[in-house]
Amino acid sequence: MSVLTTGTSALLAFQRALGTVSHNVANVNTEGYSRQRVDLEARPGQNTGAGYVGAGVSIQKLQRLADGLNFARQADSSGELGRLKQLTGYSDRLDGLFSNTSTGLATPWSNFYSAVKGVVSEPGSSIARQAMLDSGDQLAARFRAVDSQLTSMGTESDQRLAAQVDVANQLATEIAKLNQQITTSGANASPDLIDQRDLRIDKLASLTGAQVVAQDDGALNVFSGGQALVLGARAGKLTLAQDPYRADRKVLSMDTPGGPVKLQSGSVSGEIGGLLEFRERVLDPARADLGRMATAFAMSMNTQNRAGVDYTGTAGAGLFSVPAPPVNSSAMNTGTASFTASVTDLSALKGSDVELRFSGGTWGAFRSGTGEPLTMTGTGTAANPLVVEGVSLVVSGAAANGDKFTLRPTSEAAGSIQLIQKDPNRIAAASPLTAKVDPTNLGNAKPGTMSVTDPTQFASFTTAQVDFIDATHYTVDGGAPQLYTPGQPVTGNGWSMKLDGTPGAGDSFSLARTPAKSTDNSNARLLATLDDKTVLDGGTTGMTTGLSRITARVGSASSNAQMNLDAQQVLHDQITAERDSVSGVNLDEEAADMLRYQQAYQAAAQVISTAETMFQTLLGAVRG
């Protein structure tokens, strides 16, 4: 009987081992499967007096070959890889939009200023003037087209974000259910259930990033962004809540009994984190920079065109229109305050969103997203508006403590810029004044740039006489003496004139209005150089340089994301290889094990056959 028992134990053990090997082979291509192994141990022998006689073999346990440390590293890597894949994919598309000559701004920008130079060459040519307007219309259309593409990319990323949130919630629910099944089974939990749970955790990590914490009962808790996505058998729920400042945007939140709790920007990794990062750190700044360029271009062209006179002899008017900066109120505001905003200082204009807060009876300005305090002056009245980063704000209504607003200085500008001047004769190519220097002047001052400062007053202007009493005082048409500061213009009734050089006492200048159909190109020359005029960043950056920097920043973001993705892919492949070395199914190894267990099984069967022969011999002897 001892031989039969020993053989039977071996037969059952090797049968289970063969079944496990077969299970491994069957799941060689199953995603997330971890190789299993039957661990055998000898049964305690029986003391026969002369010593112990073995009692066969038993199955100690069915072991799932997996490394918990490797699993944690894989979850971290999956989150980072998912983030970088989304960030790289969208950033690369954005880079292509700006850098491609067919879709970017460089070509229509260059064409427009070439057309302006055509007016400089032929200020009286209606063909040259029309070409300038046509090029301006094409440039404005390209601004709108690029902005439309950015808006479309934002919409697409938002739709993908919503889809991925749904997938993440489904995975969290499945993980919670598997947790329940595993904890209910206790120590006898199926390795295949654990594989299924780990696979779903890895997929969830690729969407949101994941920090995994094990419980004593075998359940795994999953956290992301400081919030619990899975706690034991209970799953949390991600949601896209309405942005309190923007009707067109959703913010990632965790659904709680008290309402949605917004997850902090940058706290979530994975594909969802990559989409949020692209939207907030690449797309929004690019759109704001594009709008800043559209604003600077339109305002500079309008200001300079208004400074001259057109082909009809009338003071120039604006050529382009851009919308006023929107100021969005928070949905939680209780006051009645609203804002009217306008860009008043291009050199201080940054484009980034600004949060306005009313607290303790005063207004404060802060950088949206970071909370960095910003300098703001004024009281908010029409006479003394609030001024922050080049934008003036007039407040109407009454604010309540705690009210918040978001100022978006330039985000809407590129999408709405329009050429509003359709008459080529309205291009103000000529200087508004012609000036003559009295030949008896003692100083070396010469007339420089002359501009219209008030079209209404200038409409009645015909001639003027400027006389210097001394080097620091002058009169216009014999009027009251006015202070002259070197470098500052001489001003009159709707006009101004800068002087190059130093005037002397008794010097005189005779001014006359430039007549209609003048071929003077003084103002056109100034229009043609606006692309390089340093009007941005505190008067240190020209518009062409600013335009190039947008392309460079987007390209740099794309390049950095791709470089980081390549590095992370290498690390992820290493982690995967380490997992496969422990948990992966090796068919050669399994074939060797199958042959070994098959031979052992056949030997165990032979032991049982021998035991039967022995038993039959014994029975025969008894019968005899």
Q: Give the pLDDT band (50/70/90) at residue 46.
A: confident
Torsion (CA) 200, 205, 211, 214 in degrees, nearest 10: 10
Taking residue 84's Cβ as centre, other Cβ atoms within 10 Å add up to 27
Contact present, 253 and 260 (Cβ < 8 Å): yes
Closest among 490, 441, 434 to 466, alpha carbons compared: 490
Supply the pTM of this predicted model.
Answer: 0.89
Same domain, 40 and 154: no
pLDDT at 170: 97
φ, ψ of residue 206 to 5 degrees: the values are -70, -20
Instruction: Report residue 409 as tokens.
Output: 């200085």
φ, ψ of residue 379 to 5 degrees: the values are -115, -10
Q: Is residue 531's pLDDT more than 90?
A: yes
Same domain, 497 and 559: no
Same domain, 57 and 96: no
**306 burial class (0-12, 13-18, 19+ CB within 10 angstroms)?**
buried
Classify residue 521: in a domain, yes or no.
no
Same domain, 561 and 594: no
- Number of folded domains that form the chain: 4
User: For 121-124, which contacts have Cβ atoms below 8 Å and span 24 or more sequence positions?
Assistant: 121/521, 123/429, 123/430, 123/518, 123/519, 123/520, 123/521, 123/524, 124/311, 124/517, 124/519
Q: How confident is the model over 413-426, as a mean pLDDT?
A: 96
Same domain, 377 and 451: no
Q: What share of the chain is helix, strand, coil (3-state, %, to 5)?
A: 45, 20, 30
Q: Give the pLDDT band (50/70/90) at residue 484.
A: very high
* Listed residues 377, 411, 445: the one ending a domain: 411
Same domain, 77 and 47: no
Q: Which residues lie below 8 Å from residue 187, measured CB to CB, with a gap of 6+?
A: none
Same domain, 145 and 101: yes
**391 burial class (0-12, 13-18, 19+ CB within 10 angstroms)?**
buried
SS3 letters across 188-251: HCCHHHHHHHHHHHHHHHHHHCCEEEECCCCCEEEEECCEEEEECCEECCEEEEECCCCCCCEE
Q: How confident is the model over 44-66, as a mean pLDDT?
A: 82
Overall residue count recorded for the chain in this entry: 624
Classify residue 522: in a domain, yes or no.
no
Q: How confident is the model over 159-167, as a mean pLDDT?
A: 96
Q: What pLDDT digit, counting tens, does each position of 92-105 carry?
A: 999 999 999 999 99
Classify residue 526: in a domain, yes or no.
no
Structural domain boundaries enclosing 608: 2-65+585-623
Q: How confident is the model over 252-275, as a mean pLDDT?
A: 89
Same domain, 449 and 502: yes
Classify residue 105: in a domain, yes or no.
yes
Bridge partners, residue 573, by sequence = none
Classify residue 472: in a domain, yes or no.
yes
Classify residue 525: in a domain, yes or no.
no
Give the span between the Cα atoms of 291 and 140, in whole angstroms: 11
Bridge partners, residue 47, by sequence = 52
Instruction: Report residue 609 as tokens.
Output: 């056959």
Same domain, 252 and 384: no
Q: How confident is the model over 560-589, as a mean pLDDT?
A: 95
Classify residue 346: in a domain, yes or no.
yes
φ, ψ of residue 352 to 5 degrees: the values are -65, 150
Closest among 87, 141, 206, 25 to 575, alpha carbons compared: 206
Classify residue 592: in a domain, yes or no.
yes
> What mean pLDDT is reported for the chain?
93
Q: How confident is the model over 144-170, as a mean pLDDT?
A: 96
Q: Give the pLDDT band (50/70/90) at residue 1.
A: low
Closest among 268, 53, 292, 306 to 164, alpha carbons compared: 268
Contact present, 220 and 175 (Cβ < 8 Å): yes
Q: Is residue 4's pLDDT more than 90?
A: no
The region of weakest confidence among 111-115, 223-227, 468-472, 595-599 is 223-227
Q: How confident is the model over 426-432, as a mean pLDDT?
A: 97
Q: How confident is the model over 347-367, as a mean pLDDT?
A: 94
User: For 597-602, which contacts have Cβ atoms below 8 Å and span 24 or more sequence positions?
Assistant: 597/14, 597/17, 597/18, 597/21, 598/18, 600/10, 600/14, 600/17, 601/11, 601/14, 601/15, 601/18
φ, ψ of residue 599 to 5 degrees: the values are -65, -40
pLDDT at 613: 86
The region of weakest confidence among 32-36, 49-53, 466-470 is 49-53
Give the span between the Cα atoms of 428 and 527, in whole angstroms: 9
pLDDT at 139: 98
Give the span between the Cα atoms of 236 and 171, in whole angstroms: 11
Q: What pLDDT digit, counting tens, does each position of 320-333 carry?
A: 999 999 999 998 89
Q: Is residue 624's pLDDT more than 70?
A: no
Same domain, 91 and 156: yes
Same domain, 133 and 212: yes
Same domain, 38 and 95: no
Beta strand pairing call for 490-491 and 320-321: unpaired
Give the span between the Cα atoms of 14 and 10, in whole angstroms: 6
